[in-house]
Structure 1
Amino acid sequence: MPVYAGGLGILAGDYLKAAYDLNYPLIGIGILWANDYTEQYIDENGRPYDVYPHYDYHMVKDTGVSVHVQIRGEDVECKVKLVDCYANAPLYLLDTNFPGSRHGWMTSKLYGGGAQDRIAAEMILGIGGVRLLRALGLDVDLFHFNEGHAVFAGLELIRERMEESGLSFSLAWQAVRSQIVFTTHTPVPAGNEVHDHALLQHMNAYNGLDYDQMNQIGGDPFNMTVAGLRLSSKANAVSKLHGHTARNMWKSIQLPAPIISITNGVHEKTWQDRRVKEAFNRDEGLWDAHIQCKKELMDYIFHRTGQQLNPEVLTIGFARRAAPYKRSDLIFRNSDLLNPLLINGKIQLIFSGKAHPNDQLGKEIISDLVKMDRRYGNAVVFLENYNMEVARFLVRGCDVWLNNPRRPLEASGTSGMKAAMNGVLNFSVVDGWVAEGLQHGISGWLLEQAARQSEAWDQDEKDLQELYQVLFNEVIPTYYNQRDRWIEMMKASIDMAQWNFSSTRMLKEYDDVFYAPALQVQQETQTAPYMYPSWEENQPQPYQN
């Protein structure tokens, strides 16, 4: 079901699957996007172009229930659809694309259109999501807002308290906070959405509140992340290092929830190859299992592109959303050093990724990678239309997983977790999850010296120097001359990742240190309003690498 975009969307799916595995009582709420985020292909000139096929979601059931949301002065009907393959963790999806609806544009393209499209979708998700639960008679103990897109649900909960219980805005807000926890996912400014108040009023997003009340919640302009922090009793970042970054980022905000760290994880049954897992458990045949995955990747690439890679050659993968801070072109910035490696068959590079449909800079990044593909022939490959299918082949079939974002902008980085639990060795900047999992020369390689020495202005150059130093002096010699050591590093990588960075561990940690304490706060507010301690009193100790 292509109702996701990038790592955050895949993480949401992994979360539901983990809840199913553990038999946790969980309800997922999302939107049934009619046209996908985007399918993105490369034209004859090497430029990305977007395709929006209309999907027939045959696995989705119509519940027969509809909810209504007032958007831009109109009554918008949202049909409630159900994905029930996860039994105890059902996924409900709101849909405005049905015969006779004039509002199909609101749930047409994920992240598509302008500000009005986004606000309309966020109102359907948040306000409509709460009304969905009420219409189905589902009794919810705790609401988890996964990123700022869901925060309009908090406005609906406040409206309910004010209208049904006669509470003042202040008391309703305090009561609602005890029901909500919030996850912030990115320190990149573009990932923390803001909206103009006049536009929110035009869209009816105030949902019965007034400007002063909305300003108290989200500021002016209305910041969705700030609103999430102020509407919740507890909040979390998605790695320990990201927690440190997020607390610094939002330290000037008044009345936020305390931000702790719960590191992301990935669903091992989805992402870890069965043959690799069995070989690791037997402590026998790991290299053979890896080579099978690698040959399958090579066959997949040949089928998709006609390019024939050599399974004997050290193969480095890089697959992510096309964003400047991820620096997908970093390894190409010293052609004098790189060219001999590619021409002489020492390394092969495989890239994949998508750019936001409206992100022209991101599309330029994709075009530059395609140029490298066409320049170096079979030594460099770009796989178009990055999705879960492409990712599965890459995180199982590469030898090395390259990750070199500008610090500290990679909040977590779940693709590296998927690679690690398949014995694909991470070669990474110290950012996100890597800072708490990887050991240099034992389970992968870290670009850490530059992190200690460089300032922001020379980070690219210092990282590039260290990247080549480690590549030439450690990665390449180990692959070609120390196969036994390479296999031991693969084992260490799997051992490090398959529990510590699994969605099973993540969900149990959410339950233990996030949900249970939040429910305790909720119980306490039934007898007396909860007085939220000051920001300083709630802060965990600074992260120590």
Structure 2
Amino acid sequence: MKKLPKVAYFCMEYGLDPKFKIYSGGLGILAGDILKAAKDLNFPMVGIGIKWKQGYVDQYISEDGKVVDTYREYNYDFLEDTGITVDVEIKQRKYTLKVWKVEKFNNVPLYLLDADVVGNENRLITSQLYGWFAEERVAQEIILGVGGIRALRKLGIDVDVYHFNDNHPVFAGIELIREKMEKGMNFNEALEATREEIVFTTHTPVPAGNEVHSHRLLEYIGAYLNLDYWQMKRLGGDPFSMTVAALRMSRISNGVAQLHKETANNMWKNVEGASKIIGITNGVHNGTWQDKRIVKAFNEGKSLLEVHNELKKELIEFVEKKEGIRLDAEKLLIGFARRAAPYKRSNLIFYDEEIIGPYLKSGKIQIIFAGKAHPNDYEGKNIISDIVKMTQKYPNSVVFLQNYDMEIGAMLTRGCDVWLNNPRRPQEASGTSGMKAAMNGVLNCSILDGWWPEACIHGVNGWQFGDGFGVDDFQTLEELDEHDAKALYKVLLEEIVPTYYNNKKKWEEMMRKSIETTQERFSAARMLKEYYDLMYIKRKP
């Protein structure tokens, strides 16, 4: 068998374990799942990231229903000190970065860079994941990208492929170009040689997720390295787009679902010199997210509902312990857990209270919400506050679980009956929480966005609503929201509720079909094999 290329996987965050707070959400969970799949498959890969001292924000609800951000410091005794430090320059000052290693969570080696070192002017740069503003963000990305390349060199790890997961690691590409120019190549030669080494995964189609910075800021912080304005402009334009630069510095790129591939190609079609964007649909790590009891029952052809009801009761006890509210195990339980971003429309189900209100009042429909808003996203925080108001209005059937994390995600994607997802199509890149739910027999009810168009067999392994309409099909977002809310109510009240209460046999058949159609097809193992086959291994043209 031909030797596989050695891959260095760069990501701003990693979700490996609930206790290890260096992740914020889906991007980090995906990265953690990839490192675990690489370990399972014995693939030659290492991860490069940052040791976030305070992690992402902790978020709670105050007594008056407002979102409150809090931070605390974490100490981890399982991190291995590599004994290695590397230097980077930020604002013309030397920063020494300590390099830690972690392999504790059945993952391939993950190396984490840490600026909390005596002598550094600002030891807090690696404190908060996605904290503060543009200056700190660029400094953090220099630490990840430039520090990451220098750490690999000092560790003696020979790398064939550098995989940039999202646009944050772009300065690793600038560092690779700088290295080559230092050895005598001109800029064009260095760029071409670097392109052969980099692959790139683009994520969100939402503009806010694609960072843009002024050249003045980049030069001031130190991101130019030894390049000049015209070379940097050629890579990222002016202002400097991190995503555009990543597309131009990589030999191949991918979107994270087949629909997202189309969206991304359309979004970036005018970028000259961009790499081809293919589609590799995300997957999740079965060993982390799929409950062993449900797998056993599925494999042995035993009752799935029996096991599911056990998991549902565990979730209900978990909710009671967290929030002091006791839900009814006999009643339909819907889960909705994701970042509180406006396009995800967390509160869409409340669109017409005259329709949904009676079901919530009677408890015939129960809903658990979870999710965080970015500390600077006031619209997202308002969405959470709206949901909190509904928990006060329907205290026995609507719950908001505070401080969303991996543990809450695992409990919800195992214990709910239905997994709801209603982004404005096509703004959801993938949506891996739905995959976790599906392979636990929790039935998806979702807009045809992200991964769901590839998986959905309506009425067989879950349900779709909205019929594929999206932001380009209506003159205003209000019209789209009204259309989708009506479609949701129709499927929920005419198909899901009657099936749950009157046809348990069909419900269990759908659970079995849900697991059967997703557990391999949407696994991290399948995804990683596709990365090797389609991205990492160079194919002759």
- TM-score norm. by structure 2 comes to 0.94
C-alpha displacement of 1:59:
1.1
Identify, as 1 or 2, the structure richer in helix: 1
The question of whether the paired residues in 1 share the 8 Å contact of 2:338 and 2:372 is answered with yes
C-alpha displacement of 1:266:
0.5
**Residue in 2 that maps onto 1:382:** 400
The question of whether the paired residues in 1 share the 8 Å contact of 2:447 and 2:467 is answered with no
**Residue in 2 that maps onto 1:478:** 499
C-alpha displacement of 1:84:
2.4
C-alpha displacement of 1:224:
0.4
SS at match of 1:149: coil
C-alpha displacement of 1:516:
1.0
The question of whether the paired residues in 2 share the 8 Å contact of 1:24 and 1:88 is answered with no
Describe the shift of the 1:197–1:8 C-alpha distance in structure 2 as closer, same or farther (beyond 3 A).
Answer: same
Of residues 177, 185, 193, the one that matches 2:211 is 193
SS at match of 1:243: helix
> How many percent of aligned residue pairs carry the same amino acid?
55
**Residue in 1 that maps onto 2:11:** none
Q: Say if 2:62 is the partner of 1:16.
A: no
Q: Say if 2:257 is the partner of 1:239.
A: yes
Q: Distance in 2 between matches of 1:239 and 1:339?
A: 35
Q: Say if 2:180 is the partner of 1:161.
A: yes
* Deviation per residue, 1:157-211 (Å, 9 max, x gap): 00110112x0100001000100000000110000000000001110111010000
The question of whether the paired residues in 2 share the 8 Å contact of 1:26 and 1:88 is answered with no
What aligned pairs does 1:8-407 form with structure 2 within 5 A after superposition? 8-85=27-104, 89-164=108-183, 166-407=184-425
Q: Distance in 2 between matches of 1:107 and 1:296?
A: 37
C-alpha displacement of 1:517:
2.6
Describe the shift of the 1:286–1:147 C-alpha distance in structure 2 as closer, same or farther (beyond 3 A).
Answer: same
**Residue in 2 that maps onto 1:512:** 533
SS at match of 1:501: coil
Q: Say if 2:483 is the partner of 1:465.
A: no
The question of whether the paired residues in 2 share the 8 Å contact of 1:16 and 1:28 is answered with yes
**Residue in 1 that maps onto 2:12:** none
SS at match of 1:50: strand
* Cα RMSD, aligned residues only: 1.3
Q: Distance in 2 between matches of 1:459 and 1:365?
A: 18
* Deviation per residue, 1:30-78 (Å, 9 max, x gap): 0000101111111111111111110001111111110000110100000
The question of whether the paired residues in 1 share the 8 Å contact of 2:448 and 2:468 is answered with no
C-alpha displacement of 1:456:
5.1
Q: Say if 2:464 is the partner of 1:439.
A: no
What aligned pairs does 1:420-459 form with structure 2 within 5 A after superposition? 420-449=438-467, 451=469, 454-455=473-474, 457=476, 458-459=479-480
The question of whether the paired residues in 1 share the 8 Å contact of 2:94 and 2:120 is answered with no
Describe the shift of the 1:87–1:37 C-alpha distance in structure 2 as closer, same or farther (beyond 3 A).
Answer: closer
Amino acid at match of 1:54: E
C-alpha displacement of 1:103:
2.5
The question of whether the paired residues in 2 share the 8 Å contact of 1:23 and 1:88 is answered with no
Q: Distance in 1 between matches of 2:107 and 2:490?
A: 50
**Residue in 2 that maps onto 1:537:** none
* Deviation per residue, 1:227-253 (Å, 9 max, x gap): 000000000000000000000000000
Q: Distance in 2 between matches of 1:242 and 1:511?
A: 20
C-alpha displacement of 1:448:
3.9
Q: Distance in 1 between matches of 2:351 and 2:106?
A: 50
Amino acid at match of 1:462: H
**Count of matched residue positions in the alignment of Structure 1 and Structure 2:** 519
The question of whether the paired residues in 2 share the 8 Å contact of 1:30 and 1:125 is answered with yes
The question of whether the paired residues in 2 share the 8 Å contact of 1:354 and 1:385 is answered with yes
C-alpha displacement of 1:85:
2.8
The question of whether the paired residues in 2 share the 8 Å contact of 1:454 and 1:462 is answered with no
Amino acid at match of 1:509: E
SS at match of 2:278: strand
Amino acid at match of 1:292: E
**Residue in 2 that maps onto 1:489:** 510
Q: Distance in 2 between matches of 1:347 and 1:450?
A: 25
SS at match of 1:187: coil
C-alpha displacement of 1:321:
0.2
SS at match of 2:185: coil
C-alpha displacement of 1:86:
6.0
Amino acid at match of 1:372: M
**Residue in 1 that maps onto 2:22:** 3
* Deviation per residue, 1:494-544 (Å, 9 max, x gap): 0111011110110011111111136x68xxxxxxxxxxxxxxxxxxxxxxx
SS at match of 2:537: helix
C-alpha displacement of 1:449:
2.7
Q: Distance in 1 between matches of 2:107 and 2:176?
A: 24
Q: Distance in 1 between matches of 2:366 and 2:107?
A: 44
Q: Distance in 2 between matches of 1:497 and 1:50?
A: 36
C-alpha displacement of 1:345:
2.1
Amino acid at match of 1:140: V
Describe the shift of the 1:330–1:93 C-alpha distance in structure 2 as closer, same or farther (beyond 3 A).
Answer: same
Q: Distance in 1 between matches of 2:498 and 2:82?
A: 59
Q: Which runs of 4+ in 1 moved over 4 A?
A: none
C-alpha displacement of 1:102:
2.8
Amino acid at match of 1:364: N
The question of whether the paired residues in 1 share the 8 Å contact of 2:425 and 2:468 is answered with no
Q: Distance in 2 between matches of 1:102 and 1:367?
A: 38
Describe the shift of the 1:70–1:327 C-alpha distance in structure 2 as closer, same or farther (beyond 3 A).
Answer: same
Describe the shift of the 1:88–1:385 C-alpha distance in structure 2 as closer, same or farther (beyond 3 A).
Answer: closer
Amino acid at match of 1:138: I
Describe the shift of the 1:413–1:456 C-alpha distance in structure 2 as closer, same or farther (beyond 3 A).
Answer: farther
C-alpha displacement of 1:99:
4.3
Amino acid at match of 1:487: E
C-alpha displacement of 1:89:
1.6
C-alpha displacement of 1:100:
4.6
Q: Distance in 1 between matches of 2:473 and 2:53?
A: 46
SS at match of 1:298: helix
Q: Distance in 2 between matches of 1:103 and 1:84?
A: 28
Q: Distance in 2 between matches of 1:411 and 1:87?
A: 27
C-alpha displacement of 1:346:
1.1
Amino acid at match of 1:114: F
Bigger drift between 340-349 and 118-127 goes to: 340-349
